[in-house]
Amino acid sequence: MTSPISADLPAEFRLAYVPGVTPTKWVRIWSERLPDIPLTLVAADPGEAAGLLLSGGADAALLRLPVDRTALNAIPLYTETTVAVVPKDHVITAAEEITLADLADEVVLHPLDDTLGWDELPGEPAHQRPATTGDAVELVAAGIGVLVAPQSLARLHHRRDLTYRTVADAPESRIALSWPTGEDTPVLVEELIGIVRGRTVNSSRGVAGADRQQQAATKQPRKPQQPAKGKAAGNRSAAGAKRTGQGSTPRKGAASRPGKPRRRG
């Protein structure tokens, strides 16, 4: 049955997400709390996510910062680990963690969709920038160079002949929940904010919690039980008196008997 509050909301909620982001957990919680409003996932390239929000192609997006804060709101959710993607037999695989200095003599690929925000690129520049991170991974496999990228993207484009190592001092990528700016945050966006921030289902700021509060307020209190009247009441009163011994007739011969006279010595 449709809840009283969610009945006035849009028929669906569209959530865009960029490669490497896995919203599965949040989608599951949404479906449990708002079963009447489907959450539709919209895959978006890193450079397209903001445009989708501004054009109305999505209601909210999970994307990588930075974004234009004059047009979009953004709540940072978590920071990704940065890694260097290299062939399995590369010399840096001898260490569990490296620094940018370890890449000084390497050709470091810089894809056009990179979001790490470098102040200065490490290593030697490649002759040409690959279009995407996926293209850069293919070049790493071909022995053209190495790639520094968020760990989630290294996992997304995993190949058996490649591996990666954490880069301790590299820039980091931050994932954020973003939606268009406006005077008020839309109700369903507020609901998603509560989900990604771990608010409980009973939070008054969420649709599900507001539904529960409204339903509780409209419930009729149980009427107090009225005392019984008429013949039935008299029967119950008589039965109660009988159990307690009140109003009963003494049994025949129940009077106390005199004791035997004591013999005199």
The torsion region of residue 253 among left (phi > 0), alpha (psi -120 to 50) and beta comes to left
The span from the CA of 232 to the CA of 237, in Å, is 9
Nearest to 87 by CA among 125, 153, 151, 144: 144
One-letter amino acid at 236 equals R
3-state secondary structure of 91: helix
Position 47 scores a pLDDT of 87
Nearest 5°: the CA angle 40, 73, 167 is: 85
Assigned token pair, 14: 């569209």
Domains of the chain: 10-79+174-211 (3.40.190.10), 82-167 (3.40.190.10)
DSSP assignment string, 106-148:
SEEE--TT--S--SS--SEEPSS--SSHHHHHHHHHTTS-EEE
H-state helical runs in 219-252: 230-244
Position 2 scores a pLDDT of 45
Position 4 scores a pLDDT of 47
3-state secondary structure of 245: coil
Per-residue pLDDT of the chain (265 residues; tens, 9 = 90+): 444 445 578 889 999 999 999 999 999 999 999 999 999 999 999 889 999 999 999 999 999 999 999 999 999 999 999 999 999 999 999 999 999 999 999 999 999 999 898 999 999 999 999 999 999 999 999 999 999 999 999 999 999 999 999 999 999 999 999 999 988 999 999 999 999 999 988 764 566 555 555 544 455 555 556 655 555 555 555 555 455 555 445 555 444 455 555 555 4
Position 223 scores a pLDDT of 56
Position 232 scores a pLDDT of 52
CA distances from 158 to 20, 108, 163, 242 (A): 11, 18, 8, 86
Q: Which are the contacts of 196, defined by CB distance < 8 A and separation ≥ 6?
A: 26, 75, 77, 177
Bond preceding residue 150 cis, omega within 30 of 0? no
Position 265 scores a pLDDT of 46
Condensed to tens digits (0 to 9), the pLDDT of residues 58-115 reads 999 999 999 999 999 999 999 999 999 999 999 999 999 999 999 999 999 999 999 8
